[in-house]
A and B are shown apart, each in its own frame.
Chain A
C-alpha cells in the first residue's frame, strides 16, 4: 500500500490526488498534502492529461472501472487459482454473451415479420368496375380479311365434322371495300385431328418454327376449345396487320351497352366512365368513381342496367352471352381474361364486395414494390403497378426479344411491331413456347416482378333474382326501349337481352393484413441490454471506458517510444558532454509537470520523466 502511494506521491501532482481521495481515507491520513494539491490542480487542469505510467493507468482503471468481473480478474490477483477461476468465469460469461448476441442478431437479420390481421372501419374508396359486353365486333378496315378467315374456318370445320354452318349474316357489302393492306392467311395452320397411338383423339393445330424442324401441337379433346383457339390465332394475325384497329373499333357502338347507371342513388357522371375495346371481350366500360367513398348497402352501391344482346359478329370467338364484370382497384389495368365473372341476361345480379387489404413492409423485410419505379421491367400500361401488369410487360418484352414481334393482346414497347404471320411466319410457335415457359415459371418474369406493397383483394358474393319480373317486364322494357333501341322493348320475349347488376359494399369494416417486424430497433436494443446486464454487467459506457484505457495505453506507448529515442540520443550526447540529464530530482518534478501542463494539448504530453522508473519496470 505504502510503496506505490509513496512512489506516486513523491511525484505527486493532481494525477494521483484523485485516486487518493477516491481511494480511501487511509491515503488521506498518511498524506496530508493532497487537498491543497487537489484544489490547486483543479484550477490548473490541462485540456488532456495522460497518466504518467502504466501502473498508474492500471490503478486508475481498477479503481474506477465499472465492468463486473473484470476488476476481480485484472485488479485482484491474490492467488493464481483465484485469478484463473475469475478469468474462466469472465471468459465464460463473455462467451455466453456473444453466443446469445449471435443468436439475437441472426434472428434480427433474417428480418422476420408477423402478419397481423386487423379489422378497420374507415371508409374506403369504391373500387373500379369494368363491364364488357362480350361482343367483339369487326373493325371496319378488316372486314374483308375476316370474311376470308370465316370462309377458311368454315372449310376447316366442314372437313373435320361434315357440318355446314350457316353463312355469316355480316355479308360483305361492296360499299365497305376500303383499300386493303396486303393480307396473307397462313393456310398451313389448319384444324386437324391429332391422334397419338394409344391416346385419345384430339383436335388441334400444329405450329412449326421457321425451319420446320421443331413443331408444337395445340390440341384439346374438345373441338370447341380447339376451334376457338385456332380461330383466335388467325384473328390475331388479321388484326395485327390493321394499324388502327385499337382506336376506331369502339366508336360505332358506344352508349348502347349501359342503359342506365346509378351510383349511390344518383346518376353516374360521364367523367367517371372510360371506354375501351377489347379484342375478345368487346366494348368495355370502366366505372371509376374516384371521389366516392364507401357506404354499406345495396342502395349505396352502383346499379347498372346492361344490354346483353347476343349479336355475335364473331361466332367462333365469343361463345358466351351476357356481360363480363370485373372489380379491381383504382387505376389498375383490368385483365378480364384472368379475373372477372359473367352476368346472365334476364337476371338482377347483386354482388357484395368485401375488401381485404394486404400491406407489406418492403425492404429489407420482404420483396415488394411501392410503385413501378423500383422494378426493372418497364411497365407497358399507363396505370399503377400491379403484379399482373408487370408480368404481362415482362412477357411482352421477352416476346419482342425472342420472337422479334409483340403479341397483339398486349401493348407494344416502343419500336416493336405486332406479330402477324404475314411478317413473322413462325411467331405462333415462338409465342406458345414462351407462354408455356411462363406458365411453368421458367421465365425470369416471376422473379423480376415483385408483389406490390399495398394490395387490395375483393371478395365477392353474388345473389341473383329474375329481372324484370313478369309483372313489371312490360313497362320496364317499354321505358328502356324508348331510350335505347326500339327493338328492345317491342317484343316482351326479349327479356333475356337485358341484365341488371348491383355492386355494393357488404360491410363497412374491412380486414387488413399488416406485416410487422418481430424485432423493432428499440426492442432489439432492449434485448441486447438485458443480455449484457445478465451476463456481463456492463454497459455501453463501460465499453467506452475500455476504449479509453486502450487509447491511453497506446498514447503512453507512443510517448515512451519517443522518449526512449530521445534519451538514446541524449545519452549519446550526455556521454559526449559528461552530464547526467536522465534522472532529474524528485523535488523539481511537480513544478516541472505543472509548467508543462499549462501548455495543455499534446505538447503537454511530451516529458513525463518522474514515473519513468516505474514505467520501465512495468515495461
Chain B
C-alpha cells in the first residue's frame, strides 16, 4: 500500500500540467509539441535557429500532407473488386432447352386468315418483279379482288421510287406517279448501291391525322416486302385469341419425332409448351414445374439431349419466313427464352451437335457496381413471367412506353396488365407510332437504357456447334420409313429428308467455370494500410490522432472560451463599477478564478521578473532520461577531465 501511495504521489508530482491549463494557445501548442509521440513536432519546438525551425515545420507539414494524399489514394481504390475464377468439376444441372420451329403456324390452317394478304403480296410481287403466279390461284385472286378491293395495299401502300428524284413516287396500286413530300426515314440517297437498279421499294406510314407521314424504303425488295408483310401479319394475328393460335401451331408430338436424354428415352411429356407470338408453339425441355431439374452425370454427346425434329417444310409461310429450320435456345429454368434475339438456328437434313460450356458470373452490387440483384430496385415493372435480366427490362420498358404513347401493345412481346395488342381495327395508325417509337428507342431517347441495369449474377452457356449431313445416303433408306412409321399416328404422309433435323445438345465436359467478384479491400486492410502510412511518415498512431483532436480542438476551444469569458467578465465589471475598481485589482481573486497554472500547481516559487506561466511544463518521461544522460555525460567527462 505504501509503495503504491509513493508511486502515486511521485506520478502526481512529476505529471505535467494538463493541456487546458496552459494560459495561451501558444503555450498549449508548445506543450503539445514537446509531449507528443508524433515525430517532427518536438523538433519544431526544440530546434534552434529560424531556418532550422522553418525547415522542421516544412518537413512536418509535408509528412502530414503526404499522409493525407496517400490515404486518399487508398480510400479511392477501396471499392475495387478482385475476381476469382473457380473451376468446379461436378454433376451439372442440365439447362432448359427451348426448341421452336422457325415457322410459327401451319400455313394450311392460317391460310384462311391470311388469304387476302397473300393475294395482295403476290400482286405487289407481280407488279414489282413480274413474278409468275400459277393461273388457278390468280383467277381466284381476281375474283376476290373485285369483291372488296385491296385493303392492305390501300392502308399501307407499297411504293417504288427511283433513286435520283426522291420526291417522285410510283404507287403500286394505281401505277400513277405522284409527288411525295413526307419525311424519308431511311435515306435512300446515300444508301449503298448494291444493285444496278436505281429503284427502291418502300412503304408509307402516316399518323392519325395523315399530315405526318414517313416513308420507309429499302434498297432490297426482299426486306421491303417482308417488313410490309410482317406488319399486316401482326395486325391480323393480334386479333386471334391465344387458344386458337396454340391450336393452329405445331403440337409437341408433331414437332418431336424422337427424344433421348442421358441415354434414356423421353417424349413430348417432358416438354412444356411456351407460346411465342412470332415463333408459335415452342417446347421447353427440362422446365417442368414441380419436378426436379435433370442433370447429366457425364460429358459428351452420348449423355445429352438428342432429338429428331419434324419441321414439315410444306407448311411454311412463304412470306413471313424465308429460311427453314428450327431455333434452339439454352437458358436457365427461370429465364425467359428470347428466341428471336439469341436463338441458334439448326438446319434441316443435318445433324447439329451443340456442345455447351457453363460459365457463371457473380458480380458485387452497390457500391462496387451498378448491377441489381433481382430487379426489384429498377423502376420498370417486369411484364414477363420470368426472373429479371437486362433484356427483359429493356423489352418491358419499351412495351410500357408503347402502351403509354400508342395506346396498345406491340405484338411480339407479352402484354402489360390492362392493355391490348395493336390492330388497326382499334388503333388505325399504330404502325406509324410504333416505328417512331422504335427509332427513338434505338437512339436511346426513351431513357430505357439509362434506367435498366444489368443483373448481378447470370449463367451463360457457351455453345459450339458442328454440323454433319444427316441422314446419310445409305442410312436414309431405312431411317425415313422407320421414322414415318413412328409418326404414323400424327401425320399421314411420308417424311422427307428435308423435313427432319437432328439435334444433339450436351455438356462438352462437366467443368463449370465460376467468375466471382469479391471485395479486394476489407476494412482491416484499409486500416492496416493507414497505419503503415502514418507510421512511415510520422510514426503516428490512433492515440496520436486522438491527442491531436484533444489538444487542437477541445483544449484550444476551452482556452479560447476561458479568454472570452474573462474578457466578458472584465467588460461586465468595468461597466457596472466604473468609478471604483477595487475588486478588480485583487490578485487573489484572479488566481482563484483561473485554473492552476504550471507553477502554481507545482507550488514553485514564481520566477523572478516573469509572468506566471512563463515556462511550459516539462515532460515527465524525460526526467529519467535526463538523469541517465547526466550520469552518462559525467562518465564521459571524467576521462576527458582526467
Measuring CB to CB, which residues of chain A are less than 8 angstroms from any residue of chain B? Answer: 1-5, 7, 14-15, 18, 21-28, 32, 34-36, 38-39, 45-49, 55, 59-60, 62-64, 66, 71, 75-78, 114, 116-119, 121, 123, 255, 258-262, 264-273, 295-299, 305, 347-348, 350, 352, 354, 459, 461-472, 474-476, 478-484, 500, 506-509, 516, 520-523, 525-530, 532-533, 537-542, 544-545, 548, 614, 617-618
Contacts and interface: CB of A to CB of B under 8 A. Distances in A.
B536 A63 contact: no
A618 B640 CA distance: 7
A529 B341 contact: no
15 contacts: A76-B628, A270-B193, A273-B192, A296-B342, A465-B323, A465-B325, A475-B129, A529-B534, A529-B535, A529-B536, A530-B535, A539-B537, A545-B39, A614-B637, A618-B640
B19 interface: no
A463 B465 contact: yes
Nearest to B85: A117
Q: Which of A46, A470, A527, A528 has the most CB of B within 10 A?
A: A470
A476 B322 contact: yes
Contacts of B39: 66, 538-539, 541-542, 545
Contact of A617 (B50, B60, B537, B641): B641
B490 interface: no
Interface core residue of B39, B42, B391 (most chain A CB under 10 Å): B39
B618 A25 contact: yes
Given A47-B51, A529-B537, 11 more contacts: A1-B626, A14-B48, A25-B618, A26-B623, A64-B43, A116-B83, A259-B194, A297-B338, A305-B220, A465-B325, A476-B222
A35 B40 CA distance: 24
B3 interface: no
A268 B192 contact: yes
Nearest to A619: B640
B319 A264 contact: no
Given A59-B633, A297-B342, A617-B640, A64 B531 contact: no
Given A21-B616, A480-B222, A465 B539 contact: no
A38 B611 CA distance: 13
A530 B46 contact: no
B523 to A, nearest CB: 14
A483 B197 contact: yes
Interface string B616-642: 101100110111111111111100110
A79 to B, nearest CB: 11
B341 A299 contact: yes
Contacts of B314: 471
Contacts of B197: 482-483
B341 A26 contact: no
Query: Which of A71, A258, A522 has the most C-beta atoms of chain B within 10 angstroms of its own C-beta?
Result: A522
Given A260-B194, A479-B221, A509-B454, A526 B70 contact: yes
Interface in B284-326: 313-314, 316-319, 321-326
Interface stretch (B145-153, B235-243, B456-464): B456-464
B282 interface: no
Interface string B422-454: 000000000000000000001000000100001
A26 B630 CA distance: 12
Contacts of B530: 526
B634 to A, nearest CB: 5
Nearest to A350: B345
Given A469-B324, A617-B641, A121 B390 contact: yes
Contacts of A526: 70, 74, 528-533, 536
B219 A22 contact: no
Interface in B54-77: 59-60, 63, 70-71, 73-74, 77
Contacts of B640: 614, 617-618
Interface string B71-90: 10110010011110100000
B536 A466 contact: no
B70 A297 contact: no
B467 A542 contact: no
B363 interface: yes
Given A258-B194, A482-B197, A21 B615 contact: yes
A77 B632 contact: yes
Contact of B342 (A49, A117, A352): A352
A273 B534 CA distance: 60
Contact of B535 (A121, A461, A476, A532): A532
B626 A116 contact: no
A352 to B, nearest CB: 7
A126 B233 CA distance: 31
A63 B186 contact: no
A508 B455 CA distance: 11
Contacts of A506: 342
Contact of B128 (A298, A461, A468, A482): A482
A260 B227 CA distance: 14
B533 A529 contact: yes
Nearest to B538: A539
Contact of A469 (B130, B323, B343, B537): B323
Interface in B213-241: 217-223, 225
B49 interface: yes
B529 A268 contact: no
A479 B129 contact: yes
A1 B196 contact: no
B193 A23 contact: no
B267 to A, nearest CB: 25
Contacts of A47: 49-51
B515 interface: yes
Contact of A77 (B186, B317, B464, B635): B635
Given A347-B347, A525-B533, A532-B535, A259 B129 contact: no
B610 A469 contact: no
B637 A296 contact: no
Contact of B83 (A18, A117, A299): A117
Interface string B171-213: 0000000000000001010111111110000000000000000
B515 A117 contact: yes
B346 interface: yes
A3 B634 contact: yes
A394 to B, nearest CB: 34
Contacts of B217: 267
B602 A255 contact: no
Contacts of B340: 297-299
Closest A-B pairs by Cβ, 7 of them: A529-B536, A465-B325, A617-B640, A1-B630, A526-B532, A297-B341, A260-B220
B41 to A, nearest CB: 9
A55 B633 contact: yes
B498 interface: yes
A116 B82 contact: yes
B322 A483 contact: no
Contacts of A77: 632, 635
Nearest to A258: B194
A125 to B, nearest CB: 15
Contacts of A476: 222, 322
Contacts of B43: 64, 541, 545
B52 A26 contact: no
B632 A461 contact: no
Contacts of A7: 637
Contacts of B632: 75-78
B192 A261 contact: yes
B192 A269 contact: yes
A350 B323 CA distance: 11
B615 A28 contact: yes
Contacts of B464: 461
Contacts of A618: 636, 640
B610 A541 contact: no
Nearest to A60: B46
A259 B219 CA distance: 9
Contact of B626 (A63, A66, A545): A63
Contacts of B361: 119
B532 A483 contact: no
Contacts of B515: 117, 119
